[in-house]
Structure 1
Amino acid sequence: MQNNFQIPEQELICINVDKVYDWVLKENTFDFFPTGPITFPGLPATGLGGAVVSCEVTPATTNPVVIVRRENRQFTIDGDIVCLQQLTIRKNFTLVLVLTLPTGTVFRSAAIPVSRSEQVIMCAPEGTDVTVTFTDLDCFISSQGTFVPGTPGTLVFTGLVLTVSTCQSIQATFPVTVEFLADFCQPRAELAIGACPLPAMPPQCPVLYPD
């Protein structure tokens, strides 16, 4: 029995999507100065001369981004008065110091929680969701300073400066239902598999050999 069902070419469709109210890319850099004894599990008490310090940074596992405050502000843009929002965003990070001895042995510090806040002006009225995605997140040592052993398994740093560099994608969104005229998708053609390939030689390198 022949199936005469025909898929329509187009149909008016309603779907649920997130409307982007505003979207900015923001770069921010800040310095961090570790103080007090920092724990390095398994760290020996001697043989630390010539060690090199580096650092790693990741977003905190709990509440990496918190919108602390959202304030309405009026601005004049192209002669029109518009109401935008000044967002105060607190970002929480986890820093880890990495101590590499001249022998190549590596010791990692216990996690160091670090928080920083910044402000950004966006169209993000109350009710919209603000999401922050780190497109790049890096940590490097601006000044290694000096360190001395503290209590067993700890080091005390003097003059150590860590610089954290962030690139962020910040979006304000709200779920909406939209209507549009769409084309229905059709299945692709099946791949022709089964024929044996002809023998082939690997690519040649006549420029390199023979001379």
Structure 2
Amino acid sequence: MQANNLTGGQELLCINTEKVYDWVLNEATFDLSLTDLELPVNPVTGDQLECDDIDLNSVTCEVAPTDVDPIEILDREDQEFEIDGALVTLQLVNIRKNFEVTIFANLAADLGGANVEIGTVEFTRCEQVILCAPDGTDIDVTYTDLDCFVCTATCDVGTTTDIDELDVTVTVRLCQSIQSTFDVTLEIVADFCQPRDMLPIPPCPAPTIPPQCPVVFPVNGNDNGNNGGNGA
């Protein structure tokens, strides 16, 4: 039977949502060694850049998850733990995370100092985490912070036939939220949501006129007696 009143008062509801089985926050820091990054061509002149053309003190990096398969759950294994005197079965979850880091550098001052992209390198990091994550649950990994900085940068001068190459060590820091979830259907007692009140439409503005210049116009008709008339 259809409810007569769906607004106001609490109703027994059946909703689809996600149950969070477990939730941890994890921080990790790791170093990368990026070698043999060939210098690009000058974006303005098209000439091949050399080591002397870039400012090594200006080398920076950007890190981001890959567009394809940024997070992969490899497997999960049951393990027993004793927590507060009780024996519980949790899961050892193996996670593979795929990133890409892009290196930038400024050109030398005599070349204009523009910032140029040196190259992008993909890398992978794996980790294990203990969760209540039985088979059937989803593992959701969300980065709350993902950043990097360049620790060292050196440039290798090539021969007459080789291109000069940049070697960079990068430190990556990430903060992540890891949850195990499962889609569930719940029966709850709750209020139905109500639409908000409409905001009133502002009235039409009153007509306005531009500011006037009474100092210069109009004249007040006082011409100091010089009205062109003849005296008596």
Structure-2-length-normalised TM-score: 0.74
1:116 lines up with 2:115 in the alignment: no
Partner of 2:32: 32
Q: 1:182 aligns with which of 190, 211, 215?
A: 190
> Compared with structure 1, are the counterparts of its residues 7 and 123 closer, same or farther at alpha carbon in structure 2 (3 Å cutoff)?
closer
- The alpha carbon displacement at 1:131 in A equals 1.1
SS at 1:162's partner residue? strand
- The alpha carbon displacement at 1:90 in A equals 0.9
Letter in 2 for 1:184: F
Partner of 1:87: 93
Q: 2:166 & 2:55 partners in 1: Cα distance?
A: 16
Partner of 2:138: 129
Q: 2:69 aligns with which of 63, 73, 76?
A: 63
Partner of 1:168: 176
Q: 1:171 & 1:69 partners in 2: Cα distance?
A: 15
1:26-69 CA deviation, whole Å, 9 max, x = no partner? 0001100112x213432433442533211110001111111122
SS at 1:111's partner residue? strand
1:148 lines up with 2:139 in the alignment: no
SS at 2:69's partner residue? coil
Partner of 1:139: 148
1:60-97 CA deviation, whole Å, 9 max, x = no partner? 11111111221111111111011011111111000111
Aligned residues: 190
Which structure 1 segments of 5+ residues have no match?
199-211
Q: 2:13 & 2:98 partners in 1: Cα distance?
A: 41
SS at 1:38's partner residue? strand
Q: 2:15 & 2:163 partners in 1: Cα distance?
A: 58
1:50 lines up with 2:55 in the alignment: yes
Which structure 2 segments of 5+ residues have no match?
43-47, 207-232
1:105 lines up with 2:114 in the alignment: yes
What is the alpha-carbon root mean square deviation over aligned residues?
Answer: 2.2
Q: 2:132 & 2:89 partners in 1: Cα distance?
A: 8
Q: 2:55 & 2:205 partners in 1: Cα distance?
A: 59
Say which one has the larger Rg.
2
Contact kept in structure 2, 1:10 and 1:181, CA below 8 Å:
yes
- The alpha carbon displacement at 1:142 in A equals 1.8
Contact kept in structure 1, 2:54 and 2:105, CA below 8 Å:
no
Partner of 2:78: 72
